[in-house]
Amino acid sequence: MIEVEGLSITSAAGPILRDVGLHVAPGERLGVVGESGSGKTLLAMSLMGMVPDGLSVTGSIRIDGAEMCGADESAWRRLRARRMAMIFQEPMSALNPLRRVGDTVAEPLIRHLGLAPRAARDKALALFDETGILDPERRLSQYPHQLSGGQRQRVLIALALACDPELLIADEPTTALDANVALRITRLLVRLAEERRMGLLFISHDLAAVSRTTERLMVMYGGDVVETGATAEVLRAPAHPYTAGLLSARPSLAAHGKRRLPTIPGSVPPPQELPRGCRFSGRCGQEIARCAAEMPQPVTTAPDSWAACHLLQARAKGAGA
Ligand SMILES: Nc1ncnc2c1ncn2[C@@H]1O[C@H](COP(=O)(O)OP(=O)(O)OP(=O)(O)O)[C@@H](O)[C@H]1O
């Protein structure tokens, strides 16, 4: 569906992206990870034809067989309206604060699909339902500030799905959310990609989120793609030192069962009793709680993934936390 070859983006100050290649087929989920400033967002923007003025784009971006690199704005607009959609990190700033979220989602249905207002409202309601928005009927008439961060991100996903895109680009969609909500959003994206046979390009700093969301992974460093492969394989045996560094700096809970825990730099976050305040659920939560209960001294640490890593690591060493 989308094939990129030799894509480079250059500013007056020099190259930003160099010779990037990727492809996403219908229903396929590709992850992009990389340090801040490595060019992930600009890559996503280039696939939407939205690279800021002043930057030059060369190479090939083929979408459904049509060459889009160098295409004019009207060609991109047609494509953006019907074939591709993008969601961003901060749902609050991506939604119009003065508009009811139901109207926001209904608008492209009226504008691009020509639906009557009543039909657009019904479709918005169905999209709210599909994206797991609680009490969808009532939510339609609410404003963004009346929703939680997770519900706002679901509204943005519903908006992105409005015109049945073939590719969804999600740029750090879980970064502003807490661990539990982030987990639910990534599960939702996987389900939607599978059910709709929609391609997903998932950009993230969070290796745990990437590992549970994508099948293939591309690692970027300083504007270059330094590694690509099956996500599980790249995370199990990284070939590039940058990927290995990323893994040891930000260990993922998903990987804990499969490999030795790396040493975690930095200190444990502010005190808070883990089992009671633990935000993890299911097997992970039980494992962390059991682990905390086994510690020789009371556990006083924050219930986030870093704390969980410390706990599991301490248990592995047979030490107290
Ligand atoms: N309009 C622009 N003009 C010139 N340089 C830009 C422009 N937009 C971004 N850049 C530069 O391009 C590089 C890549 O930026 P980009 O936002 O794609 O990085 P990123 O990997 O998404 O980072 P982050 O994870 O922090 O969002 C950065 O060095 C940035 O300063």
**Cα(278)–Cα(289) distance, rounded to whole angstroms?**
8
Q: Of all atoms in ligand 1, which is nearest to the CA of residue 44?
A: 18
Cα 12 from chain centre: 30
The residue contributing the CA closest to ligand 1 atom 4 is 11
Cβ atoms of 201 and 32 closer than 8 Å: yes
**DSSP string spanning 85-133?**
EEE-S-HHHHS-TTS-HHHHHHHHHHHTT---HHHHHHHHHHHHHHTT-
d(CA 118, CA 97): 23
* Cβ atoms within 10 Å, residue 266: 8
**What pTM, to 2 d.p., does this model score?**
0.77
29-34 and 216-221 as β-strands: parallel, antiparallel, unpaired? parallel
Count of residues in the chain: 321
For 254-301, give the DSSP string: HHHTTSPPPPPPS---S--BHHHH----HHHHHHHHHHHHHSSS--B-
- Is the CB of 54 inside a 6 Å radius of any atom of ligand 1? yes
CB of residue 37 inside a 6 A radius of ligand 1: yes
pLDDT at position 297 is 52
ipTM surpasses cut 0.90: yes
Task: Give the tokens for residue 217.
Answer: 């992974």
Residue 164 near residue 112 (C-beta atoms within 8 A): no
User: Whose alpha carbon is nearest atom 24 of ligand 1?
Assistant: 36
Instruction: Return the pLDDT at 268.
Output: 38
Task: Give the distance (Å) from ligand 1 centre to CA of residue 219.
Answer: 16
Grouped pLDDT means (10 residues each) for the chain, 321 residues: 95 93 95 91 94 94 92 89 84 86 95 93 95 93 93 93 93 85 90 94 90 94 93 91 79 43 38 38 50 53 48 54 36
Question: What domains are defined for the chain?
Answer: 2-253 (3.40.50.300), 260-317 (no CATH)
What single-letter amino acid sits at 233? E
User: What pLDDT sits at residue 228?
Assistant: 95
pLDDT for the residue numbered 292: 57
Could you give phi then psi for residue 32, rounded to 5 degrees? -125, 120
How much is the pLDDT for 69? 93
- Looking at residue 179, what is its pLDDT? 82
Q: 241: Cβ–Cβ under 8 A, 6 or more apart, which residues?
A: none
